[in-house]
Amino acid sequence: MSTKKSAKKSTKQSTKPSGKLSMKSSAKKTKAAATPKSARAPKRTAAKAAVKATPVASASEFMAHAYAMEAEAAERYAEFADSMEMHNNREVAELFRKLSRIEQRHADQILEQMGWKQSPVSSADVRWEGAEGPETADSTELHYLMQPYHALQIALHNEKRARDFFAHLAKVTTNAGVRKGALEMEEDEAEHVRLIEEWLKRTPKPDPNWEADQDPPVLSD
Amino acid sequence: MNSPAVAAPITAQAFKSDYKPIWCPGCGDYSVLSSFTKAFAKLDLRPENVAVVSGIGCSSRIPAYTNCYGFHGVHGRSLAAASGLKLARPDLTVVVASGDGDGYSIGGNHFLHACRRNVDLTYVVMDNHVYGMTKGQPSPTTEPDWDSKLSPGGTGLRTFHPLVIALAAGANFVARAFAGDPNGTADIIADAIRTPGFSFVEILSPCITFRPEQREWKQMVRQAPVTSTDDAARAARRIMTDDGFNIGVLYKGGRKPYQPPIGKGKKRPSDLEAEFTL
């Protein structure tokens, strides 16, 4: 598996497939992180999936898992976008839609790099240490009044989980091909983390009362 | 149970309709919808061979979000409609979607007798321990001390225990799943559909709008430490003594499904119409 470390590019920039075996291209850098924890939400705990490796015995299996991870993340962001759109939060909907497209592009790149028409392993059959993939956003973190900053927080959290996942996999695997791929991925994910952190710096922080709703859903009297 | 089609493998996406869910952001039902479509794809079914039947409530909106045959029926009466459908069209895979209010309160009586009849259905109840659609009233599975504006100090009522009741009433398959584990839930739903007879799957599906504390469920659920059993008494003991967060197939029996012969004495619509003519 060859390394294709993405050059530093703008976060908004899309990337073309490298044609090589790097699992995540610079396209991923465009990804905004997602972790919109509402003020009411309990304190986030690190997902188990981010720190425990899934058993992969070959480079091909590794890529199939990577594909599943990207596809699952893309599906979740698309779901978030639909939900935000339905609740007329168009700005955040657009951001999640972008994240979904980026993740899907990464998934497609893996297929292309491996010469697969489809992954040999159905994404639904892949099992992680946690309930979902290391890059899949937690579905309970949404709030209908959330702002782009929250969406980026979610994405940042997921990128960190993905980075930790690959780092751990590289550490524990006994397969040289898997280790090489995992290290490349860890490096890519680490760069995505940095990019999203930069993006967050440019994004206005929400007002402390961002959750305030003059017509709240809970009956108040 | 329905026999799988033989055409090319189908994707979960092929079971989704063009309608976008209007559930609250963060609702567990999104993931349950995903589990439905993944289970159908896993079984290599086709939308035209599946019927999704529901009653009333947030969870009961699911039929609209699939492109299978759907019936969004009367509050609490989804099992009655689904039983009729399955008996008349045993070739269809019939899946029923409900919630803890629709299924255990308004539809409580139908639940008991559907278990007893053992028609080959899969009954999926999305349990969030609250009536979400009507703004947060306590449901049969709400904790007795849940304090809210609509139930100050809590109801003080004992909670309904659906899995044990299903077991006692004769359900042939009993499982608990968690919406936050969509792939695992899809496996359980697929197993439920594969298993002949009445299959009951209770899914813990957080309502973060009215029960934000249910976000913690993801830290509380765990795989059941034992495999499923075909011994109803053993399953009942296990279910009665767990804390409600053990996930997995808890009971799988071998009762023969209820399916009377069809075709004999079948009446034409015009005959039926004549019977009701005054």
Q: What is the pLDDT of residues A154-194, one digit of tens each?
A: 999 999 999 999 999 999 999 999 999 899 989 988 988 99
**Domain chopping of chain B, boundaries:** 23-275
Q: According to the model, what pLDDT value does residue A22 have? A: 32
Among chain B residues, the shortest Cα distance to A79 is held by B30
Over the stretch A189-209, which tens digit does the pLDDT of each residue have? 898 899 899 999 999 999 999
Smallest CA–CA distance from B135 into chain A, residue: A218
Contact A138/B21, CB-based, under 8 Å? no
From chain B, the residues in CB contact with A90 under 8 A are: none
Starting at the edge strand found earlier in the chain, the sheet holding B199-204 runs B69-72, B50-54, B93-99, B122-127, B199-204, B173-178, B246-252, B222-223
pLDDT-based confidence at residue A2 (cuts at 50, 70, 90): very low
Query: Cβ of B136 and A142 within 8 Å?
Result: no
- Residue A220, chain B, CB below 8 Å: the answer is yes
pLDDT band at B169 (very low <50, low <70, confident <90, very high): very high
pLDDT score of A49 more than 80: no
Q: How many beta-carbon pairs below 8 A join chains A and B? A: 86
For residue B144, count other CB atoms closer than 10 A to its CB: 13
Given this model, what pLDDT does residue A15 score?
27
Contact A132 B183 (CB under 8 A): yes
Within 113-142 of B, beta carbons closer than 8 Å to A belong to 135-136
pTM score over 0.95? no
Architecture of the domain whose range is B23-275: 3-Layer(aba) Sandwich (3.40)
Residue-wise DSSP of B150-175: TBTT---PPPP-HHHHHHHHT-SEEE
Give the tens place of pLDDT for each residue, B229-259: 999 999 999 999 999 999 999 999 999 999 9
Could you write out the DSSP letters of every residue in A106-119? HHHHHHHHHT-SS-
Distance from CA of A115 to the nearest CA of B (A): 20
Q: Which of B35, B36, B151, B215 to mutate to test the interface with A (most CBs of A within 10 A)?
A: B215
For chain A, list the domains and their CATH numbers: 26-35+56-202 (1.20.1260.10)
Chain B residue closest in CA terms to A92:
B25
Could you say which of B25, B135, B210 has the minimum Cβ distance to residue A84?
B25
The alpha-carbon gap from A106 to the nearest alpha carbon of chain B, in Å, equals 19
- Report yes or no: A121 at the B interface, CB cutoff 8 Å: no
**Residue B114 identity:** A
Closest CB from A127, A139, A218 relative to B30: A139
Q: Which of A45, A82, A220 faces B20 most closely, judged by CB atoms? A: A82
- Give the CA angle between residues A215, B103, B87 to the nearest 5°: 135
Q: What's the ipTM?
A: 0.84
Comparing A9-23, A59-73, A142-156, which segment has the lowest mean pLDDT?
A: A9-23
